């Protein structure tokens, strides 16, 4: 396949997304090198017997039908696609399904069922604890015993590239309660897990089976209005400060593609309760970064680099905990990791941490930033080494801030 080497989309990757071309119907696709492969076309043409494996599941505007088919089928299809893209003799059969990556429009790849956002990075939870409660223990007493989370708003998950309108809401300044556009718009660098196989209502998913339900991983930006959040969050947690938009990358990377970069993850003390005790290596050595392109600046600058490998609460533990009360998984559930931060300066996954709540502004591409200005663009990126000399790049989660309705977008700041 052309351009597969060094593109981040070698044959070892084969992520799934939903694209349209020239105003046509959205359908399921994968990407290899610089081209997008229209999988609905391959299946319709019966290439490699794909039609028998997937029926018309690729001829849909979301991945949900395919994801509901379960892990054995995902593996069969992935093996078949790997053969097809690596086999030069199939080239002429695949050719009609190839589209230059620059020519496609990306759509939200999944119909999001429930959206849950965890809080699983101990560095992030510690950093925020220190900022908000400087005189107390940074971690609340429950944090090391269970993976803390909140339920977010599934309907406002948007695909990468969708503009993010600055939200308005209530803020508190001293004794004054005011209403207006947020003055503390922030990002959160996260990795989301997409659920494929549902679970049975009333039946907790054992920690050892949890990963069987996971279709793949993708970058997530949990945009956050810190002033709205700070006033509203007690006692029930985030609400309007986060529900206005959550950006999801256009490509879902299959969990199997990331199997080679699994690592042990950090020790957990105290030992979790039995239902959360996990065998095996469930950290992922995925490098993450946040790039910021300030409005009117000429370029972008990376403001944070960190790793997903050190996440304290692992994905199977998050799933076991989420379902332990009998709540079940649905196809299309999105479980985000929570902000991923590292222990060093420059490895934090949010501006509130990077700028110490605004006290230490960043110099970014010639501009100064604490929180985001209208016209700023944020791009989250991730890559992982999956074989000697083979690196895959997860789909980006990008978004540009648009002025609140009724205010002039100045673009400078």
Instruction: Just list the catalytic residues.
Output: 124
Residues contributing to the site for Ca ion (CB under 5 A):
117, 188, 222
Distances in whole angstroms, Cα of residue 390 to Cα of each of 13, 59, 80, 177, 394: 10, 31, 20, 54, 13
- How far apart are CB 349 and Ca ion at their closest, in Å? 9
Sign, CA dihedral 339-341-347-352, equals: positive
220 has which bridge partners?
A: 190, 248
Nearer CB in complex with Ca ion: 4/185: 185
Nearer CB in complex with Ca ion: 123/188: 188
Nearer CB in complex with Ca ion: 188/227: 188
Give the residue closest to Ca ion by C-beta.
222
Nearer CB in complex with Ca ion: 31/124: 124
- 165 neighbors 156 (Cβ within 8 angstroms): no
- 67 neighbors 194 (Cβ within 8 angstroms): yes
Quick one: which of 117, 364, 109, 346 has its CA closest to 221?
117
- How far apart are CB 241 and Ca ion at their closest, in Å? 10
Going by the DSSP 8-state scheme, the letter that residue 102 receives in this structure is G
- 49 neighbors 37 (Cβ within 8 angstroms): no
Nearer CB in complex with Ca ion: 53/116: 116
Give dist(CA 395, CA 192) in Å, integer: 12
Residue 96: Cβ within 10 Å count: 12
- How far apart are CB 77 and Ca ion at their closest, in Å? 32
Helix H or strand E segment including 125:
helix 122-132
190 has which bridge partners?
A: 220
- How far apart are CB 117 and Ca ion at their closest, in Å? 5
Nearer CB in complex with Ca ion: 221/355: 221
Nearer CB in complex with Ca ion: 54/149: 149
- How far apart are CB 338 and Ca ion at their closest, in Å? 5
Residue 270: cis peptide before it, omega within 30 degrees of 0: yes
Residues 6+ apart with CB under 8 A from 398: 160, 161, 247, 377, 378, 379, 380
CB-based burial, 149-181: b 16+ in 10 Å, e otherwise: bbebbbeebbbbbbebebbbbebeeeeeeeeeb
Tell me the three state secondary structure of residue 314: coil
- How far apart are CB 298 and Ca ion at their closest, in Å? 31
384 has which bridge partners?
A: 392
């Amino acid at each position: 396949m052309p351009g597969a080497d060094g593109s981040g989309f070698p044959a070892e990757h084969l992520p799934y997304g939903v694209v349209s071309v020239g105003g046509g119907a959205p359908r399921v696709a994968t990407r290899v090198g610089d081209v997008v492969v229209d999988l609905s076309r391959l299946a319709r043409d019966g290439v490699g017997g794909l039609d028998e494996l997937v029926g018309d599941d690729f001829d849909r505007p979301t991945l949900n039908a395919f994801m509901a088919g379960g892990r054995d089928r995902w593996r069969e299809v992935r093996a078949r696609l790997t053969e097809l893209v690596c086999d030069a003799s199939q080239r002429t059969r695949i050719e009609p399904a190839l589209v230059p990556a620059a020519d496609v429009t990306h759509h939200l790849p999944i119909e999001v069922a429930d959206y849950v956002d965890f809080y699983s990075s101990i560095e992030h939870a510690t950093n925020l604890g220190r900022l908000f409660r400087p005189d107390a223990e940074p971690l609340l007493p429950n944090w090391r015993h269970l993976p803390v989370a909140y339920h977010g708003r599934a309907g406002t998950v948007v695909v990468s590239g969708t503009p993010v309108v600055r939200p308005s809401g209530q803020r508190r300044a001293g004794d004054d309660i005011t209403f207006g556009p947020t003055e503390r718009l922030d990002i959160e660098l996260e990795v989301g897990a997409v659920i494929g196989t549902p679970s049975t209502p009333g039946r907790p998913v054992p920690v050892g089976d949890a990963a069987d339900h996971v279709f793949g991983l993708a970058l997530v930006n949990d945009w956050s209005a810190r002033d709205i959040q700070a006033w509203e969050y007690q006692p029930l947690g985030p609400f309007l400060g986060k529900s206005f938009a959550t950006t999801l990358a256009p490509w879902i990377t299959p969990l199997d593609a990331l199997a080679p970069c699994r690592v042990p993850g950090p020790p957990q003390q105290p030992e979790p309760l039995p239902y959360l005790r996990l065998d095996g290596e469930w950290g992922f050595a995925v490098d993450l970064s946040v790039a910021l392109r300030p409005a009117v600046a000429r370029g972008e600058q990376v403001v944070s680099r960190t790793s997903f490998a050190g996440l304290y609460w692992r994905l199977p533990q998050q799933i076991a905990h989420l379902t332990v009360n009998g709540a079940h998984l649905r196809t299309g559930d999105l479980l985000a990791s929570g902000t991923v931060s590292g222990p060093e300066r420059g490895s934090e996954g949010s501006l509130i941490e990077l700028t110490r709540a605004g006290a230490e502004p960043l110099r970014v591409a010639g501009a100064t930033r604490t929180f985001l200005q209208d016209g700023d663009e944020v791009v989250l990126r991730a890559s992982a080494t999956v074989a000697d000399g083979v690196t895959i790049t997860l789909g980006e989660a990008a978004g540009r801030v648009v002025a609140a309705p009724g205010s002039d977008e100045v673009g400078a700041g």
